[in-house]
Structure 1
Amino acid sequence: MHLQTLLLPLLTTLTSAKPAHLWATHYNGNVYTLTLNNHHDLSITQTLKTCGNMPSWLTLDPQARIVYCSDEDGTTDPSTHGSLTALHAAPNGSLSEIAKTRTVGGGVASVIYERDKGRKFLAIAHYEGAAISTFALPIKQNQPENQSFHFNLTRPGKVAQQDTPHPHEVFLDPTGSFVLSPDLGADLLRVYSIEGSSGKLSECPSVNVTYGSGPRHGVFWTDGTDRSSLASASSVRTSHSRKMAAVGKTMMYLANEIGGTVMVYDVSYSRSGCLSFEKTQTVVPYPGGKMPSGATPAEIRRVGDAFYVSIRSDQGFKPSDSMVVLGRNASDGSVKVRNSDSAFGKVPRTFAVNRAGDLVAIGNQASATVAIVRRDRETGNLGEKVAILQVGEPGKVGTAEGLSSVIWDE
């Protein structure tokens, strides 16, 4: 058999592969559709003026093909507000606005959660608004919020940035029964159980984080054992005599912006229907164990036992900042620095790993670039730059300017 005949199926697969799409937000008021073709050329294929004055975060509902965009405009002042915009995503990645509603000001992150009969809800963290809100999905034009929680400081913060509560993210536990929010201003991890079919959140005891840490983002790890026998938080609340079914080993990893650390917690599901946390480690996620002056951790994400932390303003690969890879110890869940790589831009605010696990999209805020970097699926290490693209105008370091988020269309 000729070599050409042997190679033909492989060549056909490579040439017929569909291009990948991504979406990015910029504080200039635009949401961008990006296309990565088979030759690893990255280009802007749509620029859409939408999502208020300060588009900051995108969350995709893949089944409904709706992208929800949070607007960071507004503060705690009730005369100001942010917005939530629903965008329909076409197969080619192009977006069209289908609904918009007002929210508390300062929306910086959101997460979708599901309840009985597939009902979906969206929780939003409002940084400047010092609040968490929820909406039933899909949203309709001018739809009111489902619920909101507004916070005040009970003690002065350590630094000026902690002048008021600043929820910076919302994320789910591995069972999808709890919403958690790191509050950078209050040095708290706020915890809420999700109640029944209403999608209402019920407040659980918050976790006190070391004073001056400024928790920003978090991620869970679980070994996933006994998943099928997991009881929901709501069922535990109505049956206190029954202990929540085992979910195997569960741990949480919290990235702290101000303190420049990652904290590791053992997590357990208690009979009260809430979560319990025991801190087991505090580590500086940077080579040499010391964060450079002015540098801060931003995003943390996990694939398997590899954890990725973007480091802003460290200039570790001048003129670019760094992406740090942490490896997890299987025996106790602790993490240590494995290596660091270039973010291929300044101030890597967010990043996302594709579903295949072989590419990472890094959103560099100040340089306003999206960099696509290879990821080794066996080792978890990051590799060469595949593509890079300017998306909107660069922003000044330390300001709410430039690129604000990037996600894959997956």
Structure 2
Amino acid sequence: MMLPSLVTLLSVGSMATAAPTTMNARDAVSRRLLIGGPSQILAVDFNGTSFEVVGKNVTSGAAPSWMRLKSSTKTLYAVDENTSNLNQFKLDDTKLSYTSSVTGSAGVVFLEFNKDQTRMVGAAYGSGMIDVWDVSADTPKILKQVKVEGALGPNQKIHHPHQALLDPTGRFMIIPDLGGDQILVLDTKDDKYEITKTVSLFAGAGPRHGGFITSGNNTFYTLACELSNKVILFQVDYTGDELAFKEISTQSTYGAEFPPANATSAAAGTVAIANNKDVYISNRLSGNATDSISHFVFDAKTTSLNFAHTASSHGILPRDISLSIDKDQSLLFVANQGGDNGLVALHRCPVTGRLDATPVAAKSLAELVAPGMEKEANAGPQFVQEI
């Protein structure tokens, strides 16, 4: 449980502004990142060449592995995937103040706002539930808890909703259910938050995270499957209150030429999509010296998803990746739970989407592990996002 006795974020120190010649000029602008991992939340500043931890929030036993910031009220919501707590903070420049904890379903691993940020949906991987919160007031209140039902995938004991992603229309949330080998469609219209459609996948798919691509009047959904290491491209058609998912392609998250050294342990992770074209997927536990980020390119003319290249994550277990918030999305941030580097910034070409092999900046895992967890395996960052 997050406790009020937290370490206040420190003041930001001076930062260098020079950037390598290979970088876009925007990369040299000071950026603030939120990092979540076992027992802690970190505030990290990035100046274009290096990372600096400017504050810590340490709570033993907690697992703030996903967060959402409501910028209008400077409210930060953080899951604790080890418990049933939804923890709330006020973020004010360099200060992060704990305000409260409320109880929802156990094992929530993802949070998503509705269009106007008055509601928030939590995907509870640990208990097979979907939480719907009213976050219009200072204290979140549970509006609804939806139990995920249906047949289970091979060797699965319960359903595992892993993400809740708002679609481009702002009406539906798409929820991959790893335990049920299915995609759930949650309709938010008129505050009903009901599952109105399920899309069955192949047995053992293990869907984890997805992302949307819009092209003209067409919508596509890209889904990374953890258990099978497959990426599936769907076309999504809207007809009134209905959504139809048409599968276009299924292929390895590693591409045809870069199979994992250990296919048994390999587990696809997170999806990040830039400019409705470049799709990045983190590959974890590959058995290689470091894990990888695969880059696929969506071709609007042929409606195909094509493997382009792979880049090292410069660590092990890249649980989360996210793009910088500048117009060109010129950086990809990587949160590695293990290996040498816990936090990495890779430069991204805005034209080709290609990731540079050499990081713009990297911070060692040892500097990003919570006190007392230095000997624990995979205790590094699980979440990264620029704010």
TM-score range, shorter chain: 0.7 to 0.9
SS in 2 for 1:382: coil
Q: How does 1:105-184 map to 2 (within 5 A)?
A: 105-114=106-115, 118=116, 120-138=118-136, 140-141=138-139, 143-155=140-152, 157-159=153-155, 162-184=156-178
Aligned residues: 347
**C-alpha distance 139-216 of structure 1, shift in aligned 2 (>3 A):** farther
Separation in structure 2 between the aligned mates of residue 137 and residue 298 of structure 1, nearest angstrom: 28
Match of 2:77 in 1: 68
- Structure 1 contact 21–36 (Cα < 8 Å) conserved: yes
| Aligned position for 2:88 | 86
Q: Is the 8 A contact 1:213 1:257 kept in 2?
A: yes
Partner of 1:281: 249
Structure 1 residue 65: deviation in Å?
A: 2.2
Q: CA separation of 1:402/1:119 partners in 2, compared to 1, >3 Å: closer, same or farther?
A: closer
In the alignment, which of 255, 273, 279 is matched to residue 307 of structure 1? 279
Q: 1:203 aligns with which of 186, 190, 195?
A: 195
| Cα deviation, residue 63, structure 1 | 2.9
1:340-355 equivalent positions in 2, closer than 5 A: 340-355=310-325
Mapping 1:286-297, distance limit 5 Å: 286-288=254-256, 291-292=259-260, 293=263, 294-297=265-268
Q: Secondary structure at the match of 1:347?
A: strand
Once the two structures are superposed, what CA deviation does each residue of 1:104-159 show, in whole Å capped at 9, x if it has no partner?
A: 10010111113xxx461110100011111011114645x4311111134534x213
Shift of 1:379: 1.3
What SS does the corresponding residue of 1:365 show, helix, strand or coil? strand
Residue 22 of structure 1 aligns with an amino acid whose one-letter code is L
Cα 1:212–1:289 shift into 2, 3 Å: farther
* TM-score for the superposition, normalised by structure 2: 0.84
Number of the residue aligned with 2:14: none
Q: Secondary structure at the match of 2:158?
A: coil
Identity %: 24
Give 1 or 2: higher helix fraction: 1
Give the alignment of 1:28-107 within 5 angstroms. Answer: 29-38=39-48, 40-50=49-59, 53-74=62-83, 82-92=84-94, 94-107=95-108
Give the CA deviation at 1:289. 5.4
Out of 223, 235, 238, the position equivalent to 1:266 is 235
CA deviation map 1:301-322 (0-9, x unaligned): 1102110000001244x2x110
Counterparts in 2 of 1:138 and 1:37: CA distance versus 1, 3 Å: farther
Residue 287 of structure 1 deviates from its aligned partner by 3.4
Please, what is the CA RMSD of the aligned residues? 2.1
What is the CA–CA distance in structure 1 between the aligned matches of 2:60 and 2:174, rounded to whole Å? 25
TM-score (normalizing by structure 1): 0.80
Q: Post-superposition shift, 1:50?
A: 5.0
- Which whole-Å deviations, capped at 9, do the CAs of 1:241-262 have from their partners, x for residues lacking one? xxxxxxx111111111111101
User: How far apart are the structure 2 equivalents of 1:55 and 1:211?
Assistant: 31
Tell me the amino acid that sits aligned with residue 43 of structure 2: T
Match of 1:9 in 2: none
Aligned AA for 2:377?
A: K
- Secondary structure of the residue aligned to 1:403 is coil
Give the Å deviation of 1:32.
0.7
Preserved CA contact (<8 Å) 1:298 1:348: yes
Please state if 1:402 is matched with 2:372.
no
Q: Which runs of 5+ in 2 are unaligned?
A: 1-24
- 1:19 is matched with which residue: 26, 30, 39? 30
The whole-number CA distance in structure 2 between the counterparts of 1:194 and 1:144 is 17
